[in-house]
């Protein structure tokens, strides 16, 4: 078989793989709300993030050490920087903003604009140019996110720097995503890189938790449920699928699927916590679906 035929076969396989990867990514990304909802009833957000990252890293550590290529210090150090950006600064920035009384709805909205930042960065950093149709799809998807978030949106009375922190955290993760995509050599298997990312985050979150007081976990059922959810779904499923997708598909296409996380989060809240569904949520979901479809077809 010629190289050209192999390339065509691989492209066709990826075309059929994408709907499955996108579905898993949306489910995993939106499920973080559920784990945080359970666990944060019993502990501060920083303590929740510490135990989430520590447990994730410790579970992955035996597999990272025994399965895959032997990890070299240079590669580990590089992945630690990605851990600082995509775990500690991204999740920690939003946690600090919420503690500074930035309304949760506003934090969620800024977080959900991540694909827009990635699409903007993908051209100068990666050379991945979006077509006019894809930019139109991006605008439609953003409009859908705004419709979904409108009911819960308020501006609060937090200090000005805290609002800037939410935007900065989102931009840092966007930058980490495109830089991760740009790496042509030195790629680790996902379970090894994710292990390094989470353990790096756990050290930094642990320091922050110690500054606030005790780091012992609350021995309650809700905290345990929250940790299981955050580790297995919001970390292992979401991050693993995200990083794998970045290696297989254009970064703007992967990130566009995240636009669907706000309406799916609303469905989680309705199913598990009996939170009401509104007409605006369904309208926003429909608009977002149209935008994601247009962006993903480029």
Q: Say if CB 133 and CB 298 are below 8 A apart.
A: yes
Average pLDDT on 105-123 reads: 75
Looking at the predicted structure, is the pLDDT value of residue 53 above 80?
yes
Name the pTM for this structure: 0.80
- Residue 4 maps to a domain: no
Buried b (16+ CB within 10 A) or exposed e, 4-17: eeeeeeeeeeeeee
- Residue 6 maps to a domain: no
- Residue 287 maps to a domain: yes
pLDDT value of residue 4: 45
- Residue 183 maps to a domain: yes
Average pLDDT on 280-291 reads: 81
Looking at the predicted structure, is the pLDDT value of residue 198 above 90?
yes
For residue 291, the number of C-alpha atoms closer than 13 Å in the C-beta half-sphere is 27
Average pLDDT on 8-22 reads: 70
Q: Which of 234, 243, 237, 253 lies closest to 291, judged by CA?
A: 253
pLDDT value of residue 200: 95
Q: Which of 174, 184, 178, 185 lies closest to 125, judged by CA?
A: 178
- Residue 73 maps to a domain: yes
Mind listing the pLDDT tens digit for each residue in 135-186? 888 788 888 877 876 666 556 667 888 888 888 888 898 888 888 777 654 5
Q: Say if CB 31 and CB 268 are below 8 A apart.
A: yes
- Residue 15 maps to a domain: no
pLDDT band at 13 (very low <50, low <70, confident <90, very high): low
Where does the chain have alpha helices with state H?
A: 3-30, 32-39, 45-66, 73-83, 90-99, 104-112, 114-126, 132-149, 160-182, 190-212, 221-229, 238-248, 251-256, 261-273, 279-296
Burial class, 146, CB count within 10 angstroms (exposed 0-12 / middle 13-18 / buried 19+): middle
Provide the domain count of the chain. Answer: 1
pLDDT band at 195 (very low <50, low <70, confident <90, very high): very high
- Residue 12 maps to a domain: no
Where does 67-189 have alpha helices with state H?
A: 73-83, 90-99, 104-112, 114-126, 132-149, 160-182
Least confident of 162-171, 185-194, 242-251: 185-194
pLDDT value of residue 75: 84
Q: Which residues contact 154 (CB under 8 A, 6 or more apart)?
A: 103, 105, 106
Percentage above 70 pLDDT, the chain: 86
- Residue 199 maps to a domain: yes
pLDDT band at 10 (very low <50, low <70, confident <90, very high): low
pLDDT band at 2 (very low <50, low <70, confident <90, very high): very low
- Its domain, for residue 138, covers 30-296
Looking at the predicted structure, is the pLDDT value of residue 245 above 70?
yes
Looking at the predicted structure, is the pLDDT value of residue 60 above 80?
yes
């Amino acid at each position: 078989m010629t190289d050209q035929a192999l390339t065509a076969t691989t492209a066709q396989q990826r075309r059929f793989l994408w709907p499955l990867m996108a579905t898993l990514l949306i489910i995993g990304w939106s499920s973080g709300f559920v784990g945080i909802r359970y666990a944060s009833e019993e502990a501060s957000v920083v303590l929740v993030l510490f135990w989430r990252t520590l447990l994730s890293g410790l579970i992955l550590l035996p597999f990272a050490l025994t399965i895959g290529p032997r990890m070299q210090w240079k590669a580990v150090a590089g992945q630690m920087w990605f851990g600082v950006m995509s775990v500690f600064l991204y999740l920690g920035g939003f946690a600090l903003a919420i503690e500074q009384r930035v309304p949760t709805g506003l934090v969620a909205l800024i977080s959900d604009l991540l694909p827009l930042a990635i699409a903007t960065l993908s051209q100068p950093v990666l050379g991945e140019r979006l077509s006019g149709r894809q930019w139109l799809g991006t605008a439609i998807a953003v409009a859908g996110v705004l419709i979904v978030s409108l009911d819960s949106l308020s501006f609060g009375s937090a200090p000005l720097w805290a609002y800037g922190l939410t935007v900065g955290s989102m931009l840092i993760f966007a930058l980490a995503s495109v830089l991760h995509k740009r790496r042509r050599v030195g790629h680790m298997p996902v379970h090894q890189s994710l292990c390094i990312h989470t353990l790096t985050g756990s050290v930094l979150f642990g320091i922050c938790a110690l500054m606030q007081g005790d780091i012992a976990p609350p021995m309650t059922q809700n905290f345990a449920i929250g940790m299981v959810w955050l580790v297995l779904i919001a970390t292992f499923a979401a991050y693993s699928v995200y990083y794998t997708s970045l290696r297989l598909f254009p970064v703007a296409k992967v990130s566009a699927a995240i636009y669907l996380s706000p309406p799916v989060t609303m469905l989680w809240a309705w199913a598990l916590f009996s939170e009401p569904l509104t007409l605006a949520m369904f309208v926003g979901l429909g608009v977002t679906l149209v935008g994601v479809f247009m962006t993903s077809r480029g």
